[in-house]
Structure 1
Amino acid sequence: MGDFLVYEQDGPVVTLTMNQPAKRNPLTGNTAVPELLAALDRIDADRSVRCVILTANGPSFSAGGDLREMQRQATPEVSEMDIRQEYRRGIQRLPLALFNLEVPVIAAVNGHAIGAGLDLACMCDIRIASEKAVFAESFVKVGIIPGDGGAWLLPRTVGLARAAELAFTGDTIDAQQALAWNLVSRVVPHEQLLPAARELASRIVANPAHALRLTKRLMREALHSRLDTVLELSAVFQAVSHKTDDHREAVSAFLEKRKPQFGQ
C-alpha cells in the first residue's frame, strides 16, 4: 500500500504486514496511521473479506511511538494543544477504526510489542504470539501515559490489576507470561506463527459472513452496554440472522450431513 504497510488478500482473508523492520515498525513519525486507516477502510468496504491477520516483518511487531517524534513534540515550538490535536487526528483514530471494523482481526505478534505496539495488538480481537514475542506497556519509562487508548484496552484484556502492574512498572513480559495473563490466546514456535494465524483464520472464514460481522459487533457493544441493552440488540441481530440464506443453508446442510455452501 505504501512505505509502511503491505496489503495481501487470499480469498476472504486479508494479511496486513507492517514493513519497516529497520525502524522496528513504529506507529508515529511515519505513514503508519494513514496507511492502516486506509487499509481498514478498504477492508470494511469489501464484503468478501471475512478475517484479517495483522503482523510485521523483522524482529519486532511494533516498537510503538518513535522517540525522535517524541523529541520534536517536547520542543518549545510545539504546543500542548498541537500535541493534543496530533493524537486526536493521528494514532487515536486507530482504536476507533479497529473497534468499529466488523471483520474479525487476528494479531500475529512476531516480536517486540512495546508501548503503542502492545496497545495495537490489544485493539485486535485475537492475539497469537511467537515464542520470541515480548510485551511492555512502557509509556511510563519515557515519562508519558498511554495516549492511544491503552488505559481502556489493556484492563479489558488482562484485567485491572495486571494492566496496572504493566502500566505502572513498564516492565517487559515474555510470551509465556503473556499467555498466563490472557494477553495472548496461544504461543507457537516462531516459524509456525503465520501458519497458525492462517489456520485460525481459515476456521473463522468457514462461517457465514453476516454471522461473523454481527457477532463481532455484538461483542464490541457488550463491552460498554447494560445487559438489557445487549439482549435487545441480540434479539434484533438474531431476527435478521434467522432470515438469511446462509442460516437456511447451514441448517439444511447440518440436517443433510453435508458441508454448507455460504455466500459472501
Structure 2
Amino acid sequence: MQSAVVDYREIRPSVVQITMQDTVHKNTFSDQLIIGLSEAFGKARADERVKAVVLTGYGNYFASGGRKESLLQIQERRISFTDSDIYGLALDCPVPVIAAMQGHGIGGGFAMGMFSDFVVLSQESIYTTNFMKYGFTPGMGATMILPKKLGFSLAEEMLLSAKTYYGRDLKERGIPFPVLPRAEVLPYAVELAETLAEKPRISLVTLKDHLVRDLRAELPDYIAREVAMHEKTFHQPEVRDLIASHYIGG
C-alpha cells in the first residue's frame, strides 16, 4: 500500500514504518493524510506478520493538527472532529506502536502521538496542545490521553495555557519519554521496534490488549464530553475570528 502522503513499508522483519509526508500541508490533517493513515493502520492490523509499528513524520514535522479550513467547518457545524477517528488509530492497533516524533507535534497532532504505546520526542522540536489559543476546548481525546501520559499537572498546564514547549523543556519537566536529538529519534524507535519483534506476536497482542484495555474503554466517554464542550465553545464568533485571522497550519 502506497499513498502520496503516507508511506508504508516493512523496514525490518515484522516491523513496519508508517511515515506521514504531506509536505504541501506540513502534515496537517488533510483528507489525503487522514485516508492514508487509516489505510496504513488497516494494513498493519490485517497483516499477522507485523509485530511492531513505527509512526513518524518528515523533516521538522511530525503532525500539525487540523487544517484551517477544517477548523472553520467545525466552527460552522458542517463537520465534527469525530468524523474521522485518526486519534485512536495507534490505540486500536493490535500490536505496539512507537511514535517517533522527530518533528513538531501541534494540537491534534501531538495528541495523536500520545496515543501510541511508546513515544520518543526531539529536543529541537516544538510540542503544543494549542486548541485554547483559538478559544475552543480541546478535542481528539487530548483531555484523556495527556493526563494519562504526562501526569495531571503538566497536562492541565498544556491544555489550559496552550503554551508551546520545546522537547528539551518537557524533558526538564520530567516527562517519562526519551527526548533525543532529532537525528537520533527514528533510529532509537527502530531499535526498540526490533526488540519488540523478537517476541511472539500473540504475546505482544495479548499484553497490549490488557495494558490499554481501560484506555480503550474510557475513550468514547471522553470524546463525547469533548464534543459537548465544543458545542459550548467552538461556535462563538470570537473563535471564528481567531481561526480566520491568526491560525497558521503547521
Residue 224 of structure 1 deviates from its aligned partner by 7.2
The answer for the alignment partner of 2:238 in structure 1 is none
- Which secondary structure does the structure 2 equivalent of 1:6 belong to? strand
The answer for the alignment partner of 2:100 in structure 1 is 108
- 1:83 is matched with which residue: 79, 82, 92? 79
Following superposition of structure 1 onto structure 2, how do residues 3-152 of structure 1 map, counting pairs within 5 Å? 3-10=4-11, 11-27=13-29, 29-74=30-75, 78=76, 80=77, 82-84=78-80, 87-90=81-84, 93-152=85-144
Cα deviation digits, residues 12-39 of structure 1 (max 9, x gap): 1110110013422001x33222211111
Q: Distance in 1 between matches of 2:216 and 2:186?
A: 32
Q: C-alpha root-mean-square deviation of aligned residues, in Å?
A: 1.9
Contact 1:16 1:52 in 2 (8 A): yes
Residue 144 of structure 1 deviates from its aligned partner by 1.9
Residue 196 of structure 1 deviates from its aligned partner by 1.1
Contact 2:124 2:182 in 1 (8 A): yes
Q: Distance in 2 between matches of 1:41 and 1:16?
A: 11
Cα deviation digits, residues 68-99 of structure 1 (max 9, x gap): 3323444xxx4x2x323xx2221xx1233322
Residue 180 of structure 1 deviates from its aligned partner by 4.3
Change (3 A) 1:94 1:4: same
Q: Distance in 2 between matches of 1:149 and 1:182?
A: 22
Amino acid at match of 2:27: N
Change (3 A) 1:2 1:188: same
Amino acid at match of 1:60: Y
Residue 166 of structure 1 deviates from its aligned partner by 0.3
Contact 2:18 2:53 in 1 (8 A): yes
Residue 192 of structure 1 deviates from its aligned partner by 1.8
The answer for the alignment partner of 2:213 in structure 1 is 221
Change (3 A) 1:217 1:171: same
Q: Distance in 1 between matches of 2:52 and 2:39?
A: 16
- Answer 1 or 2: higher relative contact order, Cα 8 Å, separation at least 6: 2
Q: Distance in 1 between matches of 2:5 and 2:155?
A: 29
Identity of aligned residues (%): 26
Residues matched between the structures, number = 215
Residue 176 of structure 1 deviates from its aligned partner by 2.2
User: Larger C-alpha radius of gyration, 1 or 2?
Assistant: 1
- Which secondary structure does the structure 2 equivalent of 1:21 belong to? coil
Cα deviation digits, residues 108-133 of structure 1 (max 9, x gap): 11121010111011111111112222
Q: Please list every run of 5 or more consecutive structure 2 residues that lacks an aligned counterpart in the other structure.
A: 218-250
